[in-house]
Amino acid sequence: MTVDATKPYDDDNIFAKILRGEIPSTKVYEDEWAFAFEDINPQAKLHILVIPKANYVSWDDFSARASDSEIAGFIRAVGHVAREHDLVEPGYRLLANVGHYAGQEVPHLHVHLFGRQPLGPMIAK
């Protein structure tokens, strides 16, 4: 199932439940703006999800409605997680899917952080 990024936030999505502690996760980082945890179905040697603590459906929703401090805090958290896991060299990939065409599956903004291996082309041909 993919997400319609124009719909309102759903408080029952899996990431909202993880934030509330209703579903367990393997936390790798947390601050006032973001929560990062290991993906349960990793697509690379390292696959971490970073989510904002506030209720945003997608990157589009976040960039339109979040405060400057929320945006700065979240982006800094993503960078912190990458540096904390020694990914800057040789490199890593960030991915944020928005909506149905991109394959967004959970209606809560999340950034996938992939690393520790060559990742190939950005889009399969």
Q: Which residues contact 1 (CB under 8 A, 6 or more apart)?
A: 105
Model confidence at 12, pLDDT cuts 50, 70, 90, reads very high
Predicted confidence at residue 124, as pLDDT, reads: 67
Note the pTM of the prediction, 2 decimals.
0.93
Tell me how far CA of residue 122 lies from CA of 35, 39, 112, in angstroms: 25, 19, 13
Q: Is 47 labeled as catalytic in the residue annotation?
A: no
Region 34-44 average pLDDT: 97
pLDDT of 58 over the 70 cut = yes
Domains of the chain and CATH, by start: 14-115 (3.30.428.10)
- pLDDT averaged over the chain? 94
Model confidence at 5, pLDDT cuts 50, 70, 90, reads low
Tell me how far CA of residue 5 lies from CA of 31, 46, 50, 100, 117, in angstroms: 26, 27, 18, 7, 31
**pLDDT tens profile 107-117:** 999 999 999 99
Other beta carbons within 10 angstroms of residue 11's beta carbon come to 10
Q: Which of 80, 100, 108, 110 is catalytic?
A: 110
Tell me how far CA of residue 108 lies from CA of 43, 76, 122, in angstroms: 19, 18, 23
Q: What does the block give as tokens for 92?
A: 């890593």
